[in-house]
Amino acid sequence: MKPVLNVLLTLTTIAASVALAGQTRQLSMPPSFAEKLEPEAVLSAYPLGVIPKQAAFSHHGKALRTLILPNGKEGWVYQVGGKQAQTYQHPTREKHTVYETGPGSGVRTYTLMFDDKGVVIDVLYNEKGRHDGLTALQVQRKVRGDGTPRKDEGRDVK
């Protein structure tokens, strides 16, 4: 009986491995959010509709904060540049390092927007506050030279 169970376990493992291998595909990695890169270049090259949360987390790291966007979708916020480390000494002689930003400091904010399945469907960019930036959908439409979305673009967006 034991040899039969070992054979069945081996066959099950092989079948599961083959099934999972057929489902995995090579993801195109998005550009990094870096101070030296122009926002339009990042937004135009960001692959929309293919990057799941796990891959986004692995590539960009932990978000500064998460939020629910006005359309009800989940967003992960990342900030780049303009942060200056300042070390302060507490009255107890304990030192604390904080990262400060001032007005006009050049902080760039990128927000990944996820659909209900946990896939990045847009990237929002802001530099000077709310509602002054671009989106990856806008930039990619402009690069294509038309105002019409691709057939899979913006799916599940309310």
Q: What is the pLDDT of residue 157?
A: 47
Share of the chain above pLDDT 90, in %: 37
Instruction: List, for residues 11-39, the tens digit of each pLDDT value.
Output: 555 555 544 444 445 667 788 888 888 88
Instruction: List, for residues 37-75, the tens digit of each pLDDT value.
Output: 888 999 999 999 999 999 999 999 999 999 999 999 999
Report the length, in residues, of the chain.
158
- How far apart are the C-alpha atoms of 134 and 137, rounded to whole Å? 8
